[in-house]
Amino acid sequence: MNASKLAAAHEPDAEKAFFVADLSQVYKQHMRWKACLPEIQPFYAVKCNPDPYVIRLLAALGAGFDCASNGEISQVLNVGGIDPSRIIFANPCKALSFVRNAAKKGVDTMTFDNADELYKIARGHPRAKVVVRILTDDSKSLCAFGIKFGAPLVTVPGLLAKARELNLDVVGVSFHVGSGCYDPTVYTDAIRRARAVFNMGKEAGYTFKLLDVGGGFEDRLFEQAAAVLTEAIDLYFPDRREIKVIAEPGRFYVSKAFRLAAHIIARRAPLIDPAAAAHCQEQVAEPNSDQPKVMYYINDGVYGAFNCILFDHQIVHPYVLSMKGSFHIASSEPQHVSSVWGPTCDSIDCVCPKTTLPSALQVGDWLGFDNMGAYTSCAASQFNGFEVSNVIYTAGGIGAGEIRSVLAAFADDGHGL
Ligand X SMILES: *Cc1c(COP(=O)(O)O)cnc(C)c1O
Which residues have C-beta within 8 Å of that of residue 150, sequence separation ≥ 6?
92, 113, 133, 134, 135, 136, 175, 176
Cβ atoms within 10 A of the Cβ of 305, count? 27
CA-CA distance, 184 to 310, in Å (whole number)?
A: 24
Catalytic residue at 36?
no
Helix axes 222-236, 23-36, angle to 10 degrees: 30
Task: Please select the residue that binds ligand X; options are 15, 22, 51, 66, rule is CB under 6 A.
Answer: 66
Residue 250 binding ligand X, by CB under 6 A: yes
How many residues make contact with ligand X (CB under 6 A)? 17
CB 156 within 8 A of CB 198: no
Q: Which of the stretches 12-20, 73-81, 215-223, 398-406 binds ligand X when contact is defined by CB under 6 A?
A: 215-223
CB 191 within 8 A of CB 229: yes
Give 45 or 60: the residue with its C-beta nearer to ligand X.
Answer: 45
Task: Please select the residue that binds ligand X; options are 42, 50, 172, 215, rule is CB under 6 A.
Answer: 215
Give 17 or 90: the residue with its C-beta nearer to ligand X.
Answer: 90
Which single residue brings its beta carbon nearest to ligand X?
A: 215
Task: Please select the residue that binds ligand X; options are 28, 176, 256, 263, rule is CB under 6 A.
Answer: 176
Residue 248 binding ligand X, by CB under 6 A: yes
- How many alpha carbons fall within 13 Å on the CB side of residue 13? 6
Task: Please select the residue that binds ligand X; options are 184, 249, 301, 373, rule is CB under 6 A.
Answer: 249
Residue 46 binding ligand X, by CB under 6 A: no
Q: How far is the CB of 390 from ligand X (least distance, A)?
A: 23
Give 161 or 221: the residue with its C-beta nearer to ligand X.
Answer: 221
Residue 216 binding ligand X, by CB under 6 A: yes
Set 345, 350, 352, 378: catalytic member: 345
Give 56 or 133: the residue with its C-beta nearer to ligand X.
Answer: 133
Q: How far is the CB of 218 from ligand X (least distance, A)?
A: 8
Give 27 or 252: the residue with its C-beta nearer to ligand X.
Answer: 252
Residue 376 binding ligand X, by CB under 6 A: no
Residue 214 binding ligand X, by CB under 6 A: yes
Task: Please select the residue that binds ligand X; options are 16, 120, 251, 263, rule is CB under 6 A.
Answer: 251
Give 252 or 366: the residue with its C-beta nearer to ligand X.
Answer: 252
What is the contact mask toward ligand X in residues 177 to 196, using x (rule: CB under 6 A)? Answer: --xx----------------
What is the contact mask toward ligand X in residues 73 to 112, using x (rule: CB under 6 A)? Answer: -----------------x----------------------
Q: How far is the CB of 11 from ligand X (least distance, A)?
A: 37
Q: Which of the stretches 24-32, 246-254, 334-342, 409-417 binds ligand X when contact is defined by CB under 6 A?
A: 246-254
Farthest-apart Cα atoms in the chain, separation: 88
CA-CA distance, 415 to 408, in Å (whole number)?
A: 10
Task: Please select the residue that binds ligand X; options are 48, 132, 191, 233, rule is CB under 6 A.
Answer: 48
Give 180 or 343: the residue with its C-beta nearer to ligand X.
Answer: 180
Strand partners, 211: 173, 245
Phi, psi of 99 (to 5 degrees): -65, -45
Residues of span 319-348 touching ligand X by CB under 6 A: none
Residue 217 binding ligand X, by CB under 6 A: yes
Residue 314 binding ligand X, by CB under 6 A: no
Q: Which residues bind ligand X (CB under 6 A)?
A: 45, 47-48, 66, 90, 176, 179-180, 214-217, 248-252
Q: Which amino acids are annotated catalytic?
A: 345
